C-alpha cells in the first residue's frame, strides 16, 4: 500500500508543467525570500561559500553555489580515485555477472542505465558507487580521476526522486531518469560517471570543455539535489578499506585506488 501511494503521488506531480513551474520559480527573484529559511533548514555551511548569503538573488544561484578556494582539498596521490561530489555513499559493491547492482535491496540493470548491453559489458564484475546529493549539499561535480573523455551521451526524459524512498519504491530511477553519462579512460582502463537528474529538475549543466579531465577539476553541476553513479571497469579499481556505506563524503576525498 505504501509503495502504491508513493508512486501515485509522484505520478500526479511529476509532469512537464510542474517541472517548468518549479524551475522558473527557483530562477526568479521571488524565490529570494526563501533563501534564509532554506539555508537554515538544510544547515548550509555559509563559512565555505564563495559569497555571503545576501549575495545570492535566487534559490537557483544558491543551489549551484561555488565554494571558496581550498574548501575541498583533493587527494594528490596520482593513483587515487576521489569523490566527485559532496554526498552520502548510499551503496557500493561489485557489479554482478548479469550486469546488475543491488541498491536498497532492489536490482538495477547497468545495461539499462547505460543504454545497451554492449555499453555495460566492460563493467561486469567491476565496482560501483551510488552517491546521493541532498538539497543541503554542494551541487557541483568534479572529476574523480585524470583521464581522457572517450564519449558522452544522454538518456531518459522524466526524473523521479533518487532519495532513499525513491530508490526503494520508485520506478527504477537509476535506469529511467534523465541522465548524462561521461566515460573516461586512463591507463588503458575506463570508468563511467553517470549524473542522474532529480525529481522535477532535469538540469545537468556541463562546465568542462575539451577531452582532458584533471582529478578534482569541476566538470558539471546539478540544479537540484540528485545522484552520481560511478562504474569502474573490472580490474581497474580497489576501494579504500575505510569506505563503507552509508557514509558522508566530500569532493576530493579518497574513495579508492586506480590500478
Which contacts of 234-239 are long-range, i.e. CB under 8 A and separated by 24 or more positions?
A: 234/95, 234/122, 234/123, 234/124, 234/125, 234/126, 235/126, 235/189, 235/259, 236/126, 236/189, 236/190, 236/191, 237/81, 237/126, 237/127, 237/191, 239/92, 239/127
Catalytic residue, chosen from 142, 143, 159, 203, is: 142
Look at residues 198, 210, 92 and name the one whose alpha carbon lies nearest to residue 143: 210
**Could you give the CA distance from residue 246 to residue 228 in angstroms, rounded to a whole number?**
15
Q: Active-site residue 76, yes or no?
A: no
Is 77 among the catalytic positions?
A: no
Place of cell 526568479: 28
Cell readout for 147 is 583521464
Place of cell 545497451: 116
**Residue 159 known to be catalytic:** no
Give burial (CB, 10 Å; 0-12/13-18/19+) of 50. Answer: exposed
> Residues 19, 83, 203, 226: which is the catalytic one?
226
Taking phi first (over 0 means left), then psi (-120 to 50 degrees means alpha), and beta for anything else, what does residue 42 get? Answer: alpha
Which of 19, 86, 139, 236 is the catalytic position? 86
Taking the C-alpha atoms of residue 80 and residue 237, their distance in angstroms, rounded to an integer, is 9
d(CA 22, CA 4): 25
Q: What is the set of active-site residues?
A: 86, 142, 226
Amino acid at each position: 500500500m505504501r509503495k502504491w501511494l508513493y508512486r501515485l503521488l509522484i505520478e500526479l506531480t511529476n509532469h512537464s508543467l510542474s517541472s517548468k513551474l518549479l524551475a522558473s520559480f527557483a530562477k526568479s527573484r521571488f524565490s529570494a525570500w526563501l533563501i534564509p529559511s532554506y539555508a537554515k533548514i538544510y544547515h548550509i555551511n555559509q563559512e565555505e561559500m564563495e559569497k555571503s548569503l545576501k549575495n545570492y538573488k535566487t534559490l537557483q544561484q544558491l543551489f549551484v553555489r561555488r565554494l571558496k578556494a581550498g574548501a575541498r582539498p583533493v587527494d594528490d596521490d596520482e593513483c587515487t580515485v576521489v569523490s566527485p561530489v559532496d554526498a552520502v555513499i548510499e551503496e557500493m559493491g561489485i557489479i554482478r555477472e548479469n550486469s546488475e547492482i543491488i541498491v536498497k535491496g532492489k536490482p538495477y540493470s547497468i545495461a539499462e542505465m547505460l543504454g545497451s548491453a554492449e555499453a555495460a559489458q566492460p563493467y561486469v564484475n567491476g565496482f560501483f558507487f551510488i552517491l546521493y546529493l541532498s538539497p543541503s549539499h554542494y551541487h557541483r561535480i568534479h572529476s574523480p580521476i585524470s583521464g581522457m573523455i572517450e564519449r558522452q551521451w544522454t538518456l531518459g526524459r522524466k526524473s523521479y526522486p533518487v532519495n532513499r524512498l525513491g530508490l526503494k519504491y520508485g520506478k527504477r530511477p537509476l535506469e529511467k531518469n534523465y541522465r548524462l553519462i561521461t566515460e573516461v579512460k586512463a591507463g588503458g582502463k575506463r570508468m563511467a560517471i553517470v549524473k542522474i537528474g532529480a525529481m522535477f529538475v532535469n538540469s545537468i549543466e556541463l562546465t568542462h570543455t575539451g577531452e582532458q579531465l584533471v582529478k578534482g577539476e569541476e566538470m558539471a553541476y546539478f540544479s537540484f539535489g540528485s545522484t552520481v553513479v560511478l562504474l569502474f571497469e573490472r580490474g581497474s579499481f580497489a576501494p579504500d578499506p575505510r569506505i563503507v556505506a552509508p557514509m558522508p563524503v566530500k569532493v576530493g576525498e579518497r574513495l579508492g585506488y586506480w590500478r
